[in-house]
Structure 1
Amino acid sequence: MQIDTIGETGSTNADLAARLLAGETLAEGYWLVADRQTAGRGRQGRQWLDTPGNFMGSTVVTLRADDPPAMQLSMVAALALLETVMQRLADPSRVRLKWPNDVLLDGAKFSGILLERVKDHAVIGIGVNLVAAPPVEGRETRALSALGPAPQRDAFARDLAAAFASEVARWRSHSGDDLRTRWLAAAHPLGTPLSVHDERGLAVSGQFAGLADDGALILRLDDGSQRVIHAGDVTEEKA
Structure 2
Amino acid sequence: MIRIVEETGSTNADLAARLAGGEYLPEGEWLVADRQVEGKGRLGRVWNDGAGNFMGSTIVRLASADPPAQTLALMAGLAVYEALVGYLPERADLRLKWPNDLLLGGAKIAGILLEAVGDLVIVGIGVNLRVAPEVPDRRVAALSDLGVDLGRDMFAQALAVAFDLELHRWRTAGLAPLLRRWQSAAHPKGTRLTVLPPGEEAFEGSFAGLSQDGNLLLDLEDGSRRTIHAGDVLLASAPH
User: Which residue does 2:83 correspond to in 1?
Assistant: 84
* Cα root mean square deviation, aligned: 1.4
Matches within 5 A, 1:137-156: 137-156=136-155
The equivalent of 2:125 in structure 1 is 126
C-alpha deviation, 1:192, in angstroms? 2.1
Q: Cα 1:149–1:89, aligned 2, differ >3 Å: closer, same or farther? A: closer
Indicate conservation of the 8 Å contact 2:88/2:148, yes or no. Answer: no
**Post-superposition shift, 1:123?**
0.4
One-letter code aligned to 1:58: S
Q: Which residue of 1 aligns with 2:3?
A: 4
Q: What displacement does 1:201 show?
A: 4.8
Cα displacement (A) at 1:194: 1.7
Q: Which consecutive residues of structure 2, in runs of 5 or more, have no partner in the other structure?
A: none
Larger deviation: 169-178 or 19-28? 19-28
**Is contact 1:86-1:92 (8 Å) kept?**
no
For the residues of structure 1 that align with 2:23 and 2:131, how far apart are their CA atoms?
Answer: 34
Cross-structure match for 1:61: 60
Map of 2:32 onto structure 1: 33
Cα pair 1:71 1:214 within 8 Å, conserved: no
Going from structure 1 to structure 2, the CA distance change for 1:149 and 1:223 (only over 3 Å counts) comes to: closer
My pick for the range that moved more, 121-130 or 187-196, is: 187-196
**Structure 1 residue 55: Cα displacement:** 0.6
Q: In structure 2, how many angstroms separate the alpha carbons of the residues matched to 1:21 and 1:231?
A: 28
**2:161 matched residue in structure 1:** 162
Deviation of residue 93 (structure 1)? Answer: 4.4
Mapped partners of 2:22, 2:48: distance in 1: 30
Inter-partner Cα distance in structure 2 for 1:144 and 1:219:
30
> What is the Cα deviation at residue 231 of structure 1?
1.9
Instruction: Classify the secondary structure of the residue corresponding to 2:46.
Output: coil
Q: Write out per-residue CA displacement over residues 180-200 of structure 1, whole angstroms, 9 at most, x where no aligned residue.
A: 100000112222222201122
| 1:189 correspondence with 2:188 | yes
| 1:145 counterpart SS class | helix
2:33 aligned counterpart, secondary structure: strand
What is aligned with 1:207? 206
Alignment of 1:110 with 2:109, yes or no, is: yes
Give the letter aligned to residue 57 of structure 2. Answer: S
* Matching residue of 1:21: 20
- Percent same amino acid among aligned pairs? 55
**TM score, norm. by length of structure 1:** 0.94
TM-score by length of 2: 0.94
Paired letter, 1:67: D
For the Cα contact (< 8 Å) 1:67–1:172, is it kept in 2? yes
Q: Name the stretch that deviates more: 175-184 or 16-25.
A: 16-25
Q: Distance in 2 between matches of 1:149 and 1:96?
A: 17
- Is 1:237 the counterpart of 2:236? The answer is yes
Name which of structure 1's ranges 218-227 and 27-36 shifts more when overlaid on structure 2: 218-227
Contact kept? 2:87, 2:148, Cα under 8 Å: no
Change (3 A) 1:22 1:83: same
Give the aligned residue type for 2:75.
Answer: V
Tell me how far apart the structure 2 counterparts of residues 128 and 117 of structure 1 sit (CA, whole Å). 21
Runs of 4+ in 1 over 3 A off after TM superposition: none
Change (3 A) 1:76 1:53: same
Is this contact kept in 2: 1:144–1:150, CA < 8 A?
A: yes
> Offset of 1:108 from its aligned partner?
0.9
Tell me by how many angstroms 1:60 deviates. 0.3
1:73 aligned partner: 72
